[in-house]
Structure 1
């Protein structure tokens, strides 16, 4: 699957492997993982059959992504504000064979009320994994943050076709064309604060990783406001990954709340 099997993203075969993705042990665990994809015999319908560690991909009741249907959500004005404190860092980019990912050093945080979580990495999907009232957009970016209790807080931002996103230009212009180890982009820096939505309203629910092993350890915060990327930027990503989004999953009675 991967040349060096380093830094398997949001797609990991176990929660432990995900949290330790920067370690040699994690790299070795990922190397031994069953190959999975978004198509054919190794696609989402068969993830649970590829490895016993993926069984929750089919048996789980809190799977992601989901369709966020406005009429079915609970409006909650008392939900806490989401505050981002992400730092500017030198741009390092990874093509892991499933997506483009930017791993983050320590120090960037997100706060939701009293809950604090540290940014581990962000990566992209096309089309968007979450849908709003049945409609998916061109892309989605996931900011993967680790809470102090070890579980994950993932912020999803849908990306729609529009004008060029200049804050993402340095990244989109330097996608590694082939799967391989992380590469440093000389002279470029990245700061998610520059391309996060301006509006802080969100949907929140309890869910899972959207890739094997589909562990149900994610507090999802999907921003209601979308960001724009140009058709050219979308094409650059889709040239490498024509489709890397999991099908929508059943809600199974979960409550989705909306921050107004």
Structure 2
């Protein structure tokens, strides 16, 4: 199959392209660096032409109130290009619990899902939990001096490699006509995840539980934890950290 991967040069997209190519498909990465702009529409029809499957892994450059406009415009243009190309499957990557988190970015991703479900192309939505690769950024948001403040929000982090496996599998299969949840194998409170991360690196910062700290302080209950029907990925966080020690 020919599979057009928009956002195909990013963290997940580049891995998805590699996995699809290795499986014998013709996966073509598209991004601004290849002359494709999902907001202006530049290069979209040419990029989608002849594709059996469209995978959209593009992301908003901001996580604030401007993000809904990005997803509305990009999805409308991509769906139109996919329909014109006669693509039979459209895949996006979203977030577990996305429709239950009161944050602008999560509302924007929910809008993206709604636009896809109402669109003209058979579809699949892959919802993933938070990426292991983003734990450092989460810690940095609430670090003040030698203290890191984190809520006890339960999280179920997943490795980007495992996310890419799941997206590639869905893209190569029949449209789900719905949602597949994927998650890491462990559920941990975010503050405990912070302690584990810093201890493994010999970092002297102290983690203090503060249920109002950072963006995840507004997340209710365990909405970021996948349900019983989720596909659990194999990579454990300690093993991921050990494999990535010393990497930038």
Tell me which protein shows more strand as a share of its residues. 1
Q: Counting helix residues as a fraction of each chain, which structure ranks higher? A: 2
- Which of 1 and 2 has higher RCO (CA within 8 Å, sep 6+)? 1
Normalising by structure 1, we get a TM-score of 0.26
Q: TM-score, normalised by structure 2?
A: 0.27
